[in-house]
Amino acid sequence: MKANKLPRLTVEEYIQQEVESNSKYEYHNGKIFALAGGTLNHGLICGNVYSELRNALKNKASNCLPFTSDIKLHIETTNSYVYPDSMVICGKIESAKNDKNSVTNPSLIIRVHSK
């Protein structure tokens, strides 16, 4: 095995690694990637996005809820688990079969890209 090539993990192994390490990782079809801390600008933009979403949904008395990057999204079609910067889910929150802490039905997904 090459030194720079990591072994593929099953979804169950990935979830267990997150639990045991108490760290966030994204999972893409067997490969995991540790999430690094964000920059000051990234944190500010993400906070503003979440705040605006929350206020807009609250003012409309919507059945939609905003979520921060603490919530994991399972994308079944690509066999991925990711942490978007913000998400909105309307109606009942649906969880992944393999991970009750991963949602599967956002109406809006936001990724912030900043320097």
One-character DSSP codes across the chain: --TT-PPP--HHHHHHHHHHHT--EEEETTEEEEPPPPPHHHHHHHHHHHHHHHHHHHHTT-SEEEEETTSEEEEGGGTEEE--SEEEEESS--B-SS-TTEE---SEEE-----
pLDDT of residue 1: 39
CATH code of 11-110, in short, is 3.90.1570.10
In the chain, domain spans: 11-110
Residues 25, 17: contact at Cβ < 8 Å? yes
| Model pLDDT for residues 31-89, shown as the tens digit of each residue | 999 887 778 999 999 999 999 999 999 888 789 999 999 999 999 999 999 999 999 99
Please indicate whether residue 104 or residue 39 has the higher confidence score (pLDDT). 104
